[in-house]
Structure 1
Amino acid sequence: MLNDANIFTTAASRQKDSLGCVSNQLHKDLELHTGEFTFYRKCRREQNTSEVATPPSDRGFLIGVSLAAGHRRRIMSGNRSTLHDFEKDSVYVRNFEDDYRADLHGAFDFVLVELSHAFVTNTCYERGGSAITGFSSLLGKKDPIFGHLAQVLALTLDSRSEASPLFVEQLGVALGTHLIDRYGKVASESDKKSRRLSSLQETRAKDMLLARTQGSISLEEIASACNLSRSYFIRAFRETTDRTPHQWLVERRIDRARDLLKHSDAPLSEIAIACGFADQSHFTRTFSQLVGAPPGTWRRETRK
């Protein structure tokens, strides 16, 4: 559910946005953040060429739907590249676990929705389906259902302050559910086993992740210590633990916070810092989402 902290932002002042686009070249650059979704409107009128690039991460998946024809992009993968033309209602999906590089040619107008791994996992579970590992290639494929939903979402995002938070979130659910139902790929058991970390790699990765409480290590360093690429490590960690590295680390921090809340009288601000949270507000918000009650309330109830 959206709350007062979920606001629209205009990113014109940034050189590169979170999707790798050059912000000052965009005619429209809107973002709306929620717990499980981030919505974007990216529009460029000029017929120029630019490059986008994002390194592997565990952010989840991105659906992009073209609102107009005339855009072309070249996708690079290793030493190979493929060229794709986008018409109205053309779609693409990015897995943030992959290293993404592309050249964008000409004007474009896209609505994009970023889905968290938690949304994908929970939706599969709630609908009684098998877990999925990714999605079928949709580069340039036209999908009228995505097209209609994107048109409504574009109008809603453009209205900004008039946008109904609940309605926007429901559009995200509709887009994500259609993606999962229509294009989700179910991994075979042999595929799942082949991508798991070994016991040694799992132990090493978890120990190094816990060291990130002080912000002293990166996913790149952990992957290297496991003799894996960053993108492969992220996939293998998720197959092994059913969590992304970030999700696993947050849960461990909450476990430590519970222990401190139960067995110490330290103020919440000190516990937040000791457990690796940016501040007390961040700690309270995350604790409430995972545990179901604010830390102060949980402490009082536990000590009764």
Structure 2
Amino acid sequence: MLDDTQTSAATAARPKDSLGCLSSHLYRDLELDTGEFRFHRKCTRDNKASAVAMHGSERGFLIGVSLKTGHRRRIFSGHRWTSHDFEQDSIYIRDFADDYKADLQSGFDFVLIELSRAFMANACYERSGASVPRLAPLAGHKDPVLGHLAQVLALTLDRQSEASPLFVEQLGVTIGTHLLDRYGNAPPQSEKKSRRLSSLQEARAKDMLLAKSQDNVSIEEIASACNLSRSYFIHAFRETTHRTPHQWLLERRIDRARDLLKHSDYSLSEIAIACGFSDQSHFTRIFSQWVGVPPGAWRRQACN
């Protein structure tokens, strides 16, 4: 029988992931790393208790969003601790610079967003002129906005082969902006102030979106060409066109696909590639969502 010292040593020797979770407890463990942002889906199969312990580092900030109700954890600070219950859309915020120790007293299903310190510093400076980003640590706080974005991220992580880099970048910037506005040291910008692109900026942005295939253009490139920050550009583009850049580009691709379906003999797989979709199944799924019927059915109706 193992004594306490042997048990502790055995536990410490068990493999852990990059966030301190015991890998053996996870039945779903997904990751999408863009450099600036790292998105995770961590899910346990049962309610086994586990623990997380990590030393401070310069990795940046971690935001966890619970996808379901029922998780409970005890977070330690020195010799003190606090307990937190997580419902669906409950979040926690960690600064990786701080040591972290927590007992996870039940199972969980979380989307986790890791934002690099460099990204947060740049975003903070763009919004307020402050050079040092700060996010107030918290746990168990409900945030429906992040809850909605986490659901989108969960679907994106499940279909990484179809994930648009443009869309993923938009998500990361949107999440970082929301965090700074609501929990950080950057004063929120007035929503009443009009933020629209000039006609020249709008034309330049649309030209750049259309000129690059397969989303090989970044929000940062387009915003820089318009002499704007990324967060400002995304808001201004949406206010000007009533679409996010990714939505606007998808509409153009769907329009192009409809034209080819009606006026060409290309196969569905050829149209999918010509319009910038990853494959025929991706094209069929997106076309059906936007138009309401699959492309094959739409072609038959349009050509009758």
State the TM bucket, normalised to the shorter chain: 0.5 to 0.7
TM-score (norm 2): 0.55
Cα distance per residue 1:149-207 (max 9 Å; x no partner): 00001111111212222212211111111001111036xxxxxxxxxxxxxxxxxxxxx
Q: Distance in 2 between matches of 1:42 and 1:93?
A: 16
Cα distance per residue 1:118-167 (max 9 Å; x no partner): 11111122224434442123310001100000000111111121222221
The 5-angstrom pairing of residues 80-229 of structure 1 reads 80-185=80-185
Note the aligned Cα RMSD (angstroms): 1.7
Amino acid at match of 1:181: D
Q: Distance in 1 between matches of 2:143 and 2:131?
A: 23
Q: Distance in 1 between matches of 2:159 and 2:105?
A: 28
Q: Distance in 1 between matches of 2:99 and 2:166?
A: 33
| Structure 1 unaligned regions, length at least 5 | 1-13, 187-304
Q: In the superposition, relative to structure 1, how do residues 179 and 172 fare at CA in structure 2: closer, same or farther (>3 Å)?
A: same
Q: Distance in 2 between matches of 1:54 and 1:90?
A: 22
Q: Distance in 1 between matches of 2:134 and 2:127?
A: 17
Cα deviation for residue 15 of structure 1 reads 1.6
Q: Percent identity among equivalent residues?
A: 66
Number of residue-to-residue matches in the alignment: 174
Cα deviation for residue 110 of structure 1 reads 0.5
Amino acid at match of 1:145: V
Amino acid at match of 1:147: G
Amino acid at match of 1:118: A
Amino acid at match of 1:114: E
Kindly indicate whether the alpha-carbon contact (under 8 Å) linking 2:76 and 2:102 is maintained by their aligned counterparts in 1.
yes
Q: In the superposition, relative to structure 1, how do residues 129 and 182 fare at CA in structure 2: closer, same or farther (>3 Å)?
A: farther
Structure (1 or 2) with the larger CA radius of gyration: 2
Q: Distance in 1 between matches of 2:96 and 2:72?
A: 21
Kindly indicate whether the alpha-carbon contact (under 8 Å) linking 2:123 and 2:177 is maintained by their aligned counterparts in 1.
yes
Q: Distance in 2 between matches of 1:169 and 1:86?
A: 28
| Structure 2 unaligned regions, length at least 5 | 1-13, 187-304
